[in-house]
Amino acid sequence: MIKYSAEVLAARSARRPIVALESTIISHGLPRPKNLEVATEVEEIVRAAGAVPATIALIDGVIHVGLEPNQLDRIANDDNVIKASTRDLAIVQATQQSAATTVAATAHIAHLAEISVFATGGLGGVHRGHSYDESADLIALAQIPIVIVCAGVKSILDIPGTLERLETFGVPVLGYRTNKFPGFYLTDSGHDIEHRVDTPEQISKIWHNRFALKTDITAIVIANPVDNQMDPVTHNQILENGLKASQDHGIAGKAVTPFLLEYFHTQSEGESLRVNIEIIKSNALLASEIAIALL
């Protein structure tokens, strides 16, 4: 069911640390040709830190854990690559389509592949103004024991509502060297985090303690704030305008996030793209350090 790249296969045999990486940010989150450039750089960051990158995607219906260079290029540049969450995996397999995986789908496949650490940009969550419109990411976090390193929840979402859902689902949220929950483009979303960690070794101890206590039924969210945030005033104005524009254009469901990310990129004249790239690189490095500490 799963096809591993040669690099990941060797790492599994040698019991080396592996970091799962999502592919939706490559196909739908970053503009071309920057998407392929960043994907390659992120993988190199993981390798330089001493871990092995495992970018996850489906190609012609086959789940791939770790992509060869030509496969990474295809995910980045093929217009027929769709966006797949957990519910879509069996359908994409049966119809032999190619798909980039969301946070939920990536976490699910990583767990199947026995990978314990996953780096992403920002989590999905509760949509603004729609209390029943929630990302499948939340269900995945509630059901899959994996460490997810992120820059908090995407700031286009209902952050307090998302934090409430994570609490309801029993998902631990740990601030990495912070007691403030980050808001993706922003270092501080305005909401506090109860628990803070300052080293990968602390995270490793918590991870192993959860297994000993039989509380390892959910993910652990590591909230790693971006160092150089967007200007908050500019961010809030673009967000307000973007939400209105999405409503005016009838954008709904899973199309909202890529629409607003593109809106941010255009209206901020590339500033949001800079922050987005910094986020995924920083999270990939931290995830690598955590994967090494878990061994």
Q: Give the residue numbers marked as catalytic.
A: 22, 154
Per-residue CA distances from 195 to 154, 155, 202, 214, 223 (Å): 20, 21, 12, 20, 10
Q: What is the largest CA-CA distance in the chain?
A: 54
Per-residue CA distances from 146 to 4, 220, 282, 286, 290 (Å): 19, 6, 18, 15, 12
Among all chains, which residue has been given the structure tokens 């909230």?
Answer: 223
- CA proximity to 69, closest of 45, 106, 44: 44
Q: How far apart are CA 234 and CA 63, in angstroms?
A: 40
Kindly give the interhelix angle for 271-294 and 200-212, rounded to the nearest 10 degrees: 60
Cβ proximity of 234 and 271 under 8 Å: yes
Helix (H, G, I), strand (E, B) or coil at 262: helix
CB contact set of 130 (below 8 Å; sequence gap of 6+): none
- CA proximity to 207, closest of 162, 154, 129, 148: 148
The torsion region of residue 170 among left (phi > 0), alpha (psi -120 to 50) and beta comes to left
